Chains A and B, each alone.
Chain A
């Protein structure tokens, strides 16, 4: 499976994602630069939008044109029902394109947060979490704009339709407010779109890929993403 990792000028995690995917059998990742323009994604079976600077920072230096330049192509990719994974601020790009519900707002404490967190994987079966239902996994977060916000009706809809894939929890899997690092509504850390082919996860699975880094749980998530490509 060919997986395009999309790099915009302010993207800073593309190599981390590349390294993580490279060790997964069957995955053939490549870095697709937005500078190469439209067409760079055409050969891919799946997309990853890695983390980078926040949209605010792009806007402040007038660089959002690079992101919007690939908007149509990424939207078409989503419409063709191929899998897309957004990580960290990559989720912000997908919500900007309206490929994922909600918004990512500034953390409730108003400052960047970097820490290890636990996530509870949803119990409902989804293509991205097949075989991981109900698991508690450990991955790091690192963001200033990681707080999921939804309109009331929207929240009800995605919760009811099984659109929430990951929630912040404590070590024992309890989804309590203290386990929430950024004030996200309902402890939400990851969501999918209605069609089920676009996934956004705010924490960083690509930074938890081996026990030496104190957790290999992120690799399990990425492996599951790679399996979802074949499953289609």
Chain B
């Protein structure tokens, strides 16, 4: 805590705080728990919407899908612990995000994860990635929640600071939803789940070399918490619930009280602990996972305790809700903490933060050298780490448990079926190269990427969750990047009328090495969900008919700055990344969704990393068919083969349409004022013919499949 924060605390209390009080406040007023540097900007987001039940800032987000079904979502980062110990940190990320969703009474039905690591051709980075994947895999698979989406990106900036964001999706019904608040004095506070130990997660501001005592969450304990909660919720026995994880009982108790306009009285000596000699402060600030703090009315207490006994899960009545507005902590009868709950959750000063002017970028493409051999270039692109197939990673995640998965990871978006035949598509996306070069455009286009993933599947986007992974907010340049990223996602949310439902900020993703500060490329990770109208089946990206027409939707511009092509050719990114074009993007979205609605889309892919060429290759490599194209007349400002093939202009899709539906498709495009260009035909032969050159699909598949796998199998 800073001196001015300590001063603020004494002033508010009218006395000097005790040691224990200082310890509690230090945790709750930390950047990670308080969002003190970031929350002033959240008004940039569109947060309301007719289906929003629980919006930004209230824990997990919840939307109403209709027919009584509510969908909950939480998104979290666990970057620093994952950097320190990838196996444990990644498992804890999954454990934490599941807790956020089940704390609202939701049954967890899907997970997604986003990974940002250093170049996997460097052994240490490959090892860290493998360990993180193993941690996620062991935890998520054992708990039994399907992983249906994710993305991974690699560059040097993540070598010292990896990024791991996780998303959990859950469902509940309107009358089963539980709020994170304690509204009625006299209700009991029941802690259950794992026992409390001395674990402390690594604070964002600490360097990862510092001692790390956190232990992996226990999937069996999580499974038991989920099963127990299901029974408690089915019996409508809970009046409020908060998960106890990072920030511990200090945070959980303060939130319940502050949100319910009440107070809480907590007896730390009643908490089931697994280590000897824990002080009151250690008990209430422990980050031990898999614990829940439930608010239980006196008339239900006996039944709740009977259920908890039945599961043999550690539990204890640790206190009660009061009407004093205070967070009172007793240890063997001695009052250790007596602080207003609201002071804990929002009494901190918002520190001054400064933004620096970010570097100007140029649209110049002077650096571009037309490749001599386009076949080799395409193979290099396919095997480059930011394009190559990610099956090595995703095959370690159970994607089918719960038996609702319609589309696995690796397609446009993951699709699952919910009760009453509802089908939703889920995706995560972020291009940190673009975001590094131009935070606002990069963040907005990370969101359009996610949106196009959904639209290509045929899903209509309904909400955004985000996690902004940034550098040190106390540095003006990092802070400016953060502010611009918020503005970018904010702009997108208003332009497309899609609410930001929940999110997080992960600060201090930087490290000083040899006197130089190294921070990550800004990573505004966007998760987006969409519904398949009329419960239609989703379109996939694999070509599925021979002699069908392949169409390009949208215009292609001279936008190779920040692209994978640039990374492959120059070994770095520079310049002004592809523009954010809300108008074009919206028309293209409407046109493609209208085509899906007419049932004339055989397969569809959106264009993102690697541009047109990679979009087409992914369609061919996932299916059994090749193609023959004529790229001589592509609308837009792109000049020459390289720009046409690899430019990463937004607002573009690839659509496979059979001969009979061609006219209908073109009419649909025209009515939405969208340019659609016939590129050529799909073929029975396994060949990708781009007109001026062709690639054997067997060779292409080898490059694509081995790019990452070979590095990780070493």
Is the CB of A10 closer than 8 A to any CB of chain B?
A: yes
The answer to whether A207 and B134 have CB atoms under 8 Å apart is no
Is the CB of A183 closer than 8 A to any CB of chain B?
A: no
Min Cβ gap B419→A in Å is 11
Interface residues of A in 17-45 (CB under 8 A from B): 19-20, 35
Min Cβ gap B637→A in Å is 41
The answer to whether B142 and A142 have CB atoms under 8 Å apart is no
The answer to whether A114 and B400 have CB atoms under 8 Å apart is yes
Nearest opposing residue in chain A for B147, CB measure:
A114
The answer to whether B406 and A212 have CB atoms under 8 Å apart is yes
**A35 partner, pick from B142, B218, B310, B401, beta carbons under 8 A:** B310
One digit per residue, 1 when the CB lies within 8 angstroms of any chain A CB and 0 when it does not, for chain B 386-401 equals: 0000000011111111
The answer to whether A57 and B406 have CB atoms under 8 Å apart is no
Residues of chain A touching chain B, judged by Cβ–Cβ distance below 8 Å, are: 9-10, 12-13, 15-16, 19-20, 35, 52-53, 57-58, 61, 63, 111-115, 140, 142, 144, 204, 206-207, 209, 212-214
Min Cβ gap B288→A in Å is 15
Residues of chain B touching chain A, judged by Cβ–Cβ distance below 8 Å, are: 134, 137-138, 141-144, 218-220, 223-224, 310-312, 394-406, 417, 537
Report Cα–Cα, A204/B398, bound state, in Å.
11
Q: In the complex where A112-B137, A114-B397, A207-B403 touch, is A57 in contact with B310 (Cβ < 8 A)?
A: no
**A53 partner, pick from B137, B142, B312, B405, beta carbons under 8 A:** B142
Report Cα–Cα, A152/B134, bound state, in Å.
32
**A113 partner, pick from B395, B402, B417, beta carbons under 8 A:** B395
**B137 partner, pick from A9, A19, A111, A214, beta carbons under 8 A:** A111
Contacts of B223 in A (CB 8 A): 9-10, 12, 53
**B219 partner, pick from A15, A53, A113, A209, beta carbons under 8 A:** A53
The answer to whether B142 and A16 have CB atoms under 8 Å apart is no
Q: In the complex where A53-B142, A140-B400 touch, is A9 in contact with B224 (Cβ < 8 A)?
A: yes
Besides A10-B219, A53-B223, A63-B220, 19 more A-B contacts (Cβ < 8 Å) are A10-B142, A12-B142, A12-B144, A12-B223, A16-B401, A16-B403, A52-B142, A61-B218, A111-B396, A112-B141, A112-B396, A113-B396, A114-B396, A206-B403, A209-B403, A212-B406, A213-B403, A213-B406, A214-B406
Q: In the complex where A111-B137, A112-B396, A115-B395 touch, is A19 in contact with B142 (Cβ < 8 A)?
A: no
Report Cα–Cα, A13/B396, bound state, in Å.
18
Report Cα–Cα, A155/B656, bound state, in Å.
49
Contacts of B400 in A (CB 8 A): 114, 140, 142, 204, 207, 213
Min Cβ gap A196→B in Å is 28
8 pairs from A and B in contact (CB 8 Å cutoff)? A12-B144, A52-B142, A113-B395, A114-B399, A144-B138, A204-B400, A212-B406, A214-B406
Contacts of B417 in A (CB 8 A): 212-213
Report Cα–Cα, A209/B144, bound state, in Å.
18
Min Cβ gap B296→A in Å is 22
Nearest opposing residue in chain A for B421, CB measure:
A212
Report Cα–Cα, A111/B129, bound state, in Å.
14
Nearest opposing residue in chain B for A66, CB measure:
B312
Report Cα–Cα, A112/B395, bound state, in Å.
7
Min Cβ gap A215→B in Å is 10
Contacts of B395 in A (CB 8 A): 112-115
Q: In the complex where A142-B141, A213-B406 touch, is A12 in contact with B401 (Cβ < 8 A)?
A: yes
Min Cβ gap A58→B in Å is 8
Q: In the complex where A9-B224, A112-B137 touch, is A19 in contact with B403 (Cβ < 8 A)?
A: yes
The answer to whether B144 and A13 have CB atoms under 8 Å apart is yes
Contacts of B311 in A (CB 8 A): 35
Report Cα–Cα, A111/B136, bound state, in Å.
12
Contacts of A212 in B (CB 8 A): 406, 417, 537
User: Closest 3 interchain pairs by CB?
Assistant: A12-B144, A142-B398, A207-B400
Report Cα–Cα, A53/B138, bound state, in Å.
9
Min Cβ gap B388→A in Å is 18
Min Cβ gap A127→B in Å is 25
Report Cα–Cα, A169/B141, bound state, in Å.
25
Report Cα–Cα, A13/B312, bound state, in Å.
21
**A57 partner, pick from B142, B401, B402, beta carbons under 8 A:** B142
**B402 partner, pick from A16, A61, A114, A144, beta carbons under 8 A:** A16
Min Cβ gap A112→B in Å is 4
Min Cβ gap A226→B in Å is 17
Report Cα–Cα, A25/B16, bound state, in Å.
72
Min Cβ gap A113→B in Å is 6
Nearest opposing residue in chain A for B391, CB measure:
A115
The answer to whether B137 and A57 have CB atoms under 8 Å apart is no
Q: In the complex where A12-B142, A115-B395, A212-B417 touch, is A61 in contact with B220 (Cβ < 8 A)?
A: yes
Contacts of A111 in B (CB 8 A): 134, 137, 396
Report Cα–Cα, A61/B219, bound state, in Å.
10
Contacts of B537 in A (CB 8 A): 212
Report Cα–Cα, A12/B144, bound state, in Å.
5
Contacts of A19 in B (CB 8 A): 403
Report Cα–Cα, A219/B406, bound state, in Å.
16
Contacts of B144 in A (CB 8 A): 12-13, 52
Contacts of A20 in B (CB 8 A): 403
Contacts of A12 in B (CB 8 A): 142-144, 223, 401
Min Cβ gap B391→A in Å is 8
